[in-house]
Amino acid sequence: MAGGLFGRTVMFFLPWVPKFVIRWVSRRYVAGNDIESAIKRIKKLELESACTTIDVLGEEINSMSEANFFVEEYESVINAIAKDNLNANISIKPTAFGLLLDHEKGLENISRICKLASEHDMFVRLDMEDHRVTQETINVVSEMHSRGFKNVGCVLQSRLFRTKQDIIDMCENLEGNADFRLCKGIYLEPSEISHVNNKAIVKSFCRDIDLALDKNSYVGIASHDLEVINHTIKSLKIRNLGPGFEDKRKTSPKNRTGKGQGYEFQFLLGVRGNVRRRLASEGHLTRVYVPYGTQWYEYSMRRLRENPDIAWHVTKSILFPWTNRR
């Protein structure tokens, strides 16, 4: 409650906050403006036994010509990862490739990236945006798999009521190649289709993790919430998964480059580094989501508008840095 009130207060004054202040705050959470900045940050993270996912900032576009930038930029990202032999994959937003403007052209753009990534044995994660494109994003995963690109998975948001059925359906349809990043979900969706209370969201998140593991999918647990992380560790032990165990589930994706034994823990850049390093030292695979791009300001402002509670967490990390050590 206090965080939400504080966040809304920050949002009220945000238009008057100097851009350089937003830039100063974002440096911790955004790698920089260009590929070189992202690669430099990734190499430092690899020294901490972390693998990474690169995201080029930007999403829904206004013209198909804008999609060309993302196609070309992600091609450069894939080639840069391959050139330096980095333990990294990519994360893309379907709307940035024109999916809502020209469906067929958008699909071809995404397919072009998935094909190049496949040639380099690299995984492609489709980010999940708001509920307008939930089903469409899931459909794109199925379409890419039908084209032979099994190196593709998506994000599912546990705040949505539909997510459990989506896990079941995708695990059945993808025939042992289902690969999810599970998260709470940053978009504030209507109460008719989603949980709006944090306690309910966490409870739903934990149930989704259990279901995805039981359905033999690969699961990326994208959370900084200690309750979720602790639940996951207990859930893994019950299923004989985790450090020292081989994933013996019958249909779980096997032998993907850069992947763990059926699961991994995922963190945003600059958040809960101490927890990530502890998990890595215990033998868990950890991955850091590394965004970069010239749209850092729009990204930061949009995230704050979508979920004002973030303002509270960011401010707390600045005023009380020990609560969110790197």
- 180 and 301 assigned to the same domain: no
Token digits of residue 116: 């190049």
Range of the domain at 299: 1-30+293-326
Phi-psi region of 39 (alpha: psi -120 to 50; beta: other; left: phi over 0): alpha
Q: Is 300 exposed, middle or buried (0-12, 13-18, 19+ CB in 10 A)?
A: buried
55 with 289: CB under 8 angstroms?
yes
- 176 and 311 assigned to the same domain: no
**272 three-state secondary structure:** coil
- Residue-level pLDDT at 228: 97
d(Cα 110, Cα 94) in Å, to the nearest integer? Answer: 7
Separation of CA 153 from chain center? 11
d(Cα 86, Cα 51) in Å, to the nearest integer? Answer: 8
- For residue 190, report the phi and psi dihedrals to the nearest 5 degrees: -60, 150
Number of domains present in the structure of the chain: 2
Residue 28, C-beta contacts closer than 8 angstroms, at least 6 positions apart: 269, 270, 317, 326
d(Cα 197, Cα 182) in Å, to the nearest integer? Answer: 18
- 98 and 115 assigned to the same domain: yes
Give me the residue label for tokens 């409650």: 1
- 285 and 305 assigned to the same domain: no
Name the catalytic one among 41, 55, 127, 247.
127
- 44 and 193 assigned to the same domain: yes
- The CA angle 165-170-174, to the nearest 5 degrees, is 160
d(Cα 123, Cα 129) in Å, to the nearest integer? Answer: 19
- Residue-level pLDDT at 19: 63
CA distances from 246 to 174, 230, 241 (A): 22, 20, 7
- Residue-level pLDDT at 323: 52
- 122 and 180 assigned to the same domain: yes
- 94 and 236 assigned to the same domain: yes
CB atoms within 10 A of CB 34: 14
49 with 87: CB under 8 angstroms?
no
127 catalytic residue (yes or no): yes
Give me the residue label for tokens 């989501």: 289
Name the catalytic one among 41, 181, 249, 287.
181
Separation of CA 204 from chain center? 18
**Taking the alpha carbons of 49, 53, 54, 55 in that order, is the dihedral positive or negative?**
negative
CA distances from 265 to 183, 242, 268 (A): 11, 11, 11
**155 three-state secondary structure:** strand
- Residue-level pLDDT at 160: 97
d(Cα 187, Cα 160) in Å, to the nearest integer? Answer: 10
- 261 and 157 assigned to the same domain: yes
What CATH number is associated with residue 179? 3.20.20.220
- 138 and 115 assigned to the same domain: yes
**151 three-state secondary structure:** coil
303 catalytic residue (yes or no): no
- 12 and 40 assigned to the same domain: no
Each residue's pLDDT tens digit in the chain (326 positions)?
A: 445 555 556 556 666 666 666 666 667 788 888 999 999 999 999 999 999 999 999 877 899 999 999 999 999 999 999 999 999 999 999 999 999 999 999 999 999 999 999 999 999 999 999 999 999 999 999 999 999 999 999 999 999 999 999 999 999 999 899 999 999 998 889 999 999 999 999 999 999 999 999 999 999 999 999 999 999 999 999 999 999 999 998 877 776 888 999 999 999 998 889 999 999 999 999 999 999 988 666 666 665 655 555 555 555 554 455 554 55
Token digits of residue 231: 């639940």
- 149 and 284 assigned to the same domain: yes
d(Cα 223, Cα 213) in Å, to the nearest integer? Answer: 16
292 with 33: CB under 8 angstroms?
yes
- 163 and 252 assigned to the same domain: yes
CA distances from 231 to 147, 158, 208 (A): 36, 15, 11
Give me the residue label for tokens 């050139």: 83
